[in-house]
A and B are shown apart, each in its own frame.
Chain A
Amino acid sequence: MTVPPADKPSEARTWLTSRGNSSLSDRAFRWLMLLCALSIFGIVALIATSLVQGSKLTLGLFGWKFFLSSGWDPINGNFGALPFIYGTLVTSAVSLVIAVPLAVGVAIFITEMCPKMLRGPLAFLTELLAAIPSVVYGLWGVFVLVPLLRQYVNPALMKTLGWTGLFQGPNLGIGMFAAGVILAIMILPIISSLTREVMIAVPYTQREAVLALGATRWEMIRMGVLRNARIGIVGSVILGLGRALGETMAVTMVIGNSAASISKSLLAPGYSMASVIANEFSEATSDTHTSALIEIGLALFIITILVNALARLLVWAVTRGAPPRVA
């Protein structure tokens, strides 16, 4: 064996040194990547400043009263966002009431009960629900769901729950209840897939311990899984709420778009914060009108950021933090 003489560098080395000193390009590359990562902060800041700037007019004109008064009269220059806030809250609440039990049920079924063969396809199906665009949900809502509600569901609800005052008045089909149902279908996959993730993160020893004490399967799920995963489940529900609060197209298409009055009945047409922007922005009659709509957008931005931040922290606490200790 002959060793190459030391004064003659190997082929690989000459090839590499001919490429020059890499410390400069390495540093440049690193800075470029950092810049792109930092651009995410930049985007959030940009959105915030442009919204604040766009709504300066009404921020100065109405102040906090903007969110507490209910007169929305673009022609006379009177703006109060209360009916929209009310509509957003009511439709989101309806959607959560419908979606949360169903989503948790599906998550339980998929993670704890169903045969392994069905697990993948079912999870995929619920993911598909999340992939359908909002506008297609709206189209389906207008032509299928609304007639269905008007004909069968609403009369039944009026008969059985009419005494609560929540299901009263003319049965139009479109309205806050229809919007809530559509929203429920839309946020179900988010809540369900995150709940599933959180439940999978619960260590198996927990389940085995509870089963070893002679628990039935439901008791095992309740005590071994749900109790350990509850923070994460709450987080996923809040995340679903964040989605529901800002959902635009489907809601705009079925909520009825009427800011006439704040109605207690869920069957009455309403208006949500997102849908009023979608509907009136391109036809805004004055600068004040535009500014008022941008201010509603700003409020929506702040609310959803807070809701999402809270939800992320809760979900992270479970899936990222140390696994629950087995005592």
Chain B
Amino acid sequence: MPNEYRVSTANRMRRMATNHLASGLAVLSTILVVAPLVAIFGYLLFKGASSLNLAFFTKTPAPEGATGGGMANAIVGSGILLAVASAIGVPVGIAAGIFLAEFGRGGKLANLVRFTADVLNGVPSIVMGIAMYALIVARQKHYSALAGGVALGIMMIPTITRTSEEMLLMVPHAIREAALGLGVPNWRSVLSITLRTASPGVITGCMLAFARIAGETAPLLFTALGSQFWSVDVNQPIAALPLQIYVYAASPYEDQIRQAWAGALVLIVLIVGAVSLVRYVTTRGVLKGAS
């Protein structure tokens, strides 16, 4: 009897020890994950804030080797690229989401579309870049902002499709039935009743997709190409913030590296701002009223 008792105590001790060890490891890994985040943000804030100045927002890049200058053309270029991308990605993405939620519900075709969208989401951005090169740039025989915008727009579609679908599915049936019961045509009911009700969520999805592509560099390398000069022509190569950061990061000049950090800070503030807004909207329960 005593012997058995001792064994079970040892067993219990061992189990408790394993329990504590595992808990400790989980806590440790959380710390290890949060650490680089804090390190990246801290360093970025420190480096970026000390490098930002007014010239960064108002001037175009200085000639090679000279100090000063800014990324005004890259900021505007990014804006144009994102506008072109949104013009393609947002309508197509939302429409595909409407199809999945309103017409294709549970059907085989809808499942296949959903699956393809998820797979498309995982295609590396560099592949999107060379595909658009082969498709647009190689045919037009010159780099253009348009090609870059199309590449980014295509990358937005899967994210927007999936979030729009999820948000539309949350709209209660009673609202649709009420609209149809009043004799409103289906298309009108979908657009101004269902979509309107789900709009905070749908906009959230668009912002999320927007934040994702705002920092993309790889698809722009051989489409928008980048430029050192002021340009707003969609048929010409155009500068973009991420591209400029990439070029300046490898620069031998101290001043260009400084501007790379400043650019990174601006980009991060833009993206984190969008993501936080999304988070705020979704946790605030704007949608909860609808469901």
Residues of A that sit less than 8 Å from B by CB: 12-13, 16, 19, 22, 25-26, 28-30, 32-41, 43-44, 46-47, 50-51, 53-54, 101-106, 108-110, 113-114, 120, 122, 124-129, 131-140, 142-144, 185, 188, 192, 216-219, 221-222, 239, 242-243, 245-249, 253, 274, 277-278, 281-282, 293-294, 297, 300-301, 304-305, 307-309, 311-312
Contact = CB atoms under 8 A, between A and B. Distances in A.
Contact of B99 (A37, A54, A124, A277): A37
Contacts of A124: 279
Contact of A22 (B119, B187, B283): B187
Given A33-B96, A246-B126, A248-B126, A142 B249 contact: yes
Going nearest first, the 5 A-B pairs with the smallest beta carbon separation are A133-B215, A246-B124, A105-B29, A22-B185, A36-B95
Contacts of B217: 133-135, 248-249
A134 to B, nearest CB: 6
Interface in B200-214: 211-212, 214
A143 B215 CA distance: 19
Contacts of A50: 131, 134-135
A29 B127 contact: no
A132 B242 CA distance: 12
A104 B21 CA distance: 15
Contacts of A32: 95
A249 B279 CA distance: 27
Interface of B: 15-16, 18-19, 21-23, 25-30, 32-34, 36-37, 39-40, 43-44, 91-92, 95-96, 98-100, 102-104, 109-110, 113, 115-128, 130-131, 133-135, 138, 154, 157-158, 161, 182-183, 185-188, 190, 211-212, 214-218, 221-222, 225, 242, 245-246, 249-250, 257, 260-261, 264, 267-268, 271-272, 275, 279, 283
Contact of B267 (A40, A101, A136, A144): A136
Contact of B92 (A13, A36, A113, A125): A36
Given A135-B245, A282-B222, A304-B127, A113 B26 contact: yes
Contacts of A44: 116, 119-120
A134 B212 CA distance: 10
A49 to B, nearest CB: 9
Contacts of A37: 95-96, 99-100, 104, 109-110, 113, 161
B125 A135 contact: no
Nearest to A52: B134
A40 B246 contact: no
A40 B242 contact: no
A294 B130 CA distance: 7
A307 B95 CA distance: 28
A54 B133 CA distance: 9
A300 B264 contact: no
Contacts of B124: 245-248, 274, 300-301, 304
Q: Is the interface of A mostly helix, strand, loop or mixed?
A: helix
A44 B254 CA distance: 43
A43 B150 CA distance: 11
A144 B215 contact: no
A278 B119 CA distance: 22
A294 B187 CA distance: 43
A242 B216 contact: no
Q: Is the interface of B mostly helix, strand, loop or mixed?
A: helix
Contacts of A114: 30
B271 A106 contact: no
A278 B218 CA distance: 7
A281 B215 contact: no
B271 A253 contact: no
A136 B44 contact: yes
Nearest to B117: A40
A203 to B, nearest CB: 21
B95 A136 contact: no
A195 B218 CA distance: 28
A144 B43 contact: yes
Contacts of A26: 185-187
A281 B230 CA distance: 25
A253 B249 contact: yes
B208 to A, nearest CB: 9
A109 B135 contact: no
A139 B118 CA distance: 29
A40 B249 contact: no
Nearest to B136: A50
Contacts of A33: 95-96, 98-99, 102-103
A34 B117 CA distance: 14
A16 B218 CA distance: 52
Nearest to A101: B29
B123 A246 contact: yes
14 contacts: A26-B185, A30-B103, A30-B186, A39-B96, A43-B157, A51-B127, A106-B29, A139-B245, A139-B264, A144-B43, A248-B217, A297-B126, A301-B124, A301-B131
A246 B95 CA distance: 28
A294 B215 contact: no
